[in-house]
Amino acid sequence: MADTVLDVKGMTCPLPVLRTNKVLRSLEPGARLRVLATDRAAVADMQAYCRESGHALLAFSEEAGVFSFVIRKKAESA
């Protein structure tokens, strides 16, 4: 299954996390979302969001000012 990609480059806090949350809600449990952002605040925001929501932050990288986050949606709770 290919990752869904969300491009929030140019958006500032809190929009990257809000858009991420919206897209994750539409995905199946276990699906992966790659988020591309340029806002430095997104680094701490995505870590906190995943920790608090239960989604898994699988990978994080930065290249030429673009931050890439790979998030796996949590399994639905019973």
Q: Which residues are catalytic?
A: 13
**Cis amide bond preceding 29, omega within 30:** no
Tokens of 17: 């996390």
Strand ranges inside 2-77, DSSP E:
4-7, 32-37, 56-63, 66-72
